[in-house]
Amino acid sequence: MSQKIAVIGGGPGGYVAAIRAAQLKNEVTLVEKDELGGTCTNRGCIPTKALIQSANVYWQARHSQAFGVKIPQVDLDYPAVLQRKNAVVKRLVNGVGFLMKKNRIRVVKGEAALTDARTVSVRETGEKIKADKIILAMGSLPAGLPIEGLDQQGVITSNEALNLEQLPSSLVIIGGGVIGIEFAQLMHRMGVKVTVIELMPSILPTEDAEAVRILTEMLKKEGLEIITGAAVKKIEEDGRGGRQVVFSLAGQDHRRSAELVLMAVGRKPDLSLSGLDRLGVPLTDRRHILVNERMETGVPGIYAIGDVIGGIMLAHAAMAEGVCAVENAGGIGRSMNCRLVPRCVYSVPEMAGAGLTEAEAREQYGDKIKVGRFPLTANGKAAILGETEGLIKILAEPNYGEIVGVTLVGPHATELIAEAVVAMSLEAGFEDLAAAVHAHPTVSETMMEAALDVDKRAIHI
């Protein structure tokens, strides 16, 4: 039965939810206060990866002699880099707009508010949109820390970093998560002196420790300064027009100066939507909207997806949650399996994972967990690419050999992780991957070899 569906937020979760709702023959209205595509398309996934691509091309050109190619002079045209990044963003934003028209989704530009559990009002126009079901997809904002000097000039977030008119000579990045590491390497590869300061004992602290060690070593070898286990105390002027970050490490104060300081400590849900408190939409103790596996909030008829619910704050997770919410709103029973959402870091080498890390698997299954590893040094395609640092790790539970986790570090890891997700979605065992013929020479062969190594049958090691 057709319903009226209102979606608040036009990011990856919101616009995908709107399209799926339209496919199910619902009357759909999407309210967006900024640009379609949300943070991912405008200030996150797409622009950062566009900059990373330019940085990597520049880096490869400067190091082309390793492949027998001599380039007399290589220059970085940073305004042209920004122009290309902006063109890519514009194209994809326009693409989302086209999809809205194609699916007959009404888009309202303005700031939404919840009047009641069945009404969305738009502040700029005063319009009141009646809906049978409402999907909240407001996204997130850059997070900060209570650090003295955080609000002074020269301290920026990822939003400002994407639109710098010129590159700084030096940069201190506070935070060694995905955002911090991706910005660190792209800036370094464009010629910026970079220091990363991370509070936890390692960068990317939630990822597989063995994989993180490999990536950390490669980043340091490339020339990045990475300081872990350090607590930032304050940011102050350095007396030379830049900023100085004061941090505590092993009980002593240390300092690093730079032209700019980038706060990259993650993102927080955007809960500025008026009406959440009045309607009693429940929140977790970490200030995320609380939902069940069907994406339902505690208010009947209201669903929430994407960054506002916390969890895995990634665009593809939001997209899957959007489909899940809409199908449940339409009576199609669906549950969201967050365990199989891939996690990606677009560094060089790339890192990706899905399911359990080795530490999580050992906590759940003990020493009976089965582990297969294959190093990139033994892979022909990696040698051809000149990227032989890395590995693939496959974790299988002890009773049936079902794959419960996969981690990759190496070229094309963010693409290859899809094979692992499909396998785990089908509850495949490591034998299934081991028996699948993989093309040669490809990096994907490492998946087969790691699966073989679970039973110590790998061919090329």
pTM of the model: 0.95
Nearest to 402 by CA among 424, 433, 429: 429
Residue 277 shares a structural domain with residue 401: no
Note whether residue 106 is domain-resident.
yes
CA distance 162 to 446: 35
Active site residues: 440
Residue 26 shares a structural domain with residue 127: yes
Residue 226 shares a structural domain with residue 99: no
pLDDT tens per residue, range 113-132: 999 999 999 999 899 999 99
Q: What is the CATH number of the domain that holds 213?
A: 3.50.50.60
Residue 384 shares a structural domain with residue 413: yes
Residue 321 shares a structural domain with residue 306: yes
Bridge partners of 242? Answer: none
Residue 48 shares a structural domain with residue 164: no
CA distance 251 to 279: 47
Q: What is the CATH number of the domain that holds 385?
A: 3.30.390.30
Q: Is 328 exposed, middle or buried (0-12, 13-18, 19+ CB in 10 A)?
A: buried
Residue 297 shares a structural domain with residue 369: no
Note whether residue 137 is domain-resident.
yes
Instruction: Look at residue 322 and give its three-state secondary structure.
Output: helix
What total of structural domains would you count in the chain? Answer: 3
Note whether residue 81 is domain-resident.
yes
φ/ψ (deg, to 5) at 52 = -60, -40
> Quick one: which H or E segment has residue 253?
strand 252-258
What is the arrangement of strands in the sheet containing 391-396, beginning at the earlier edge strand? 343-345, 350-355, 403-410, 391-396, 370-375
Which residues of the chain, if any, have pLDDT below 50?
none
Residue the block writes with tokens 């004992």: 201
Note whether residue 460 is domain-resident.
no
CA distance 388 to 248: 36
CA distance 215 to 217: 5
Task: List the domain range (segments joined by +) for residue 131.
Answer: 4-141+268-338
Residue 220 shares a structural domain with residue 303: no
CB under 8 Å to 113, separation ≥6 — which residues? 120, 121, 122, 123, 273, 274, 275
Residue 250 shares a structural domain with residue 331: no
DSSP assignments along 155-218, one per residue:
EE-HHHHTT-SS--SEEEEE--SHHHHHHHHHHHHTT-EEEEEESSSSSSTTS-HHHHHHHHHH
Please say which residue of 213, 241, 265 terminates a domain.
265
Note whether residue 94 is domain-resident.
yes
Extract the tokens encoding 207: 């990822």
CB under 8 Å to 212, separation ≥6 — which residues? 202, 203, 204, 205, 351
Q: What is the 3-state secondary structure (H, E, C) of 116-145?
A: ECCEEEECCCCCEEECCEEEECCCEEECCC
The sign of the dihedral angle between the CA atoms of 430, 378, 352, 41 is negative
Please say which residue of 338, 373, 399 terminates a domain.
338
Residue 318 shares a structural domain with residue 367: no
Using only C-alpha atoms, the chain has a radius of gyration, in whole angstroms, of 23
Note whether residue 344 is domain-resident.
no
What is the arrangement of strands in the sheet containing 27-32, beginning at the earlier edge strand? 106-109, 27-32, 4-8, 133-136, 302-304
Count of H-run helices and E-run strands, the chain? 14, 23
Note whether residue 343 is domain-resident.
no
> Quick one: which H or E segment has residue 360?
helix 358-365
Please say which residue of 338, 358, 391 terminates a domain.
338
Residue 120 shares a structural domain with residue 173: no
Residue 272 shares a structural domain with residue 136: yes
CA distance 456 to 370: 10
Note whether residue 148 is domain-resident.
no
Q: Contact 434/448 with Cβ under 8 angstroms?
A: yes
Quickly count: other Cβ atoms within 10 Å of residue 437's Cβ.
7
Bridge partners of 247? Answer: 232, 254
CA distance 302 to 439: 47
Amino acid identity for residue 92 in this structure = L
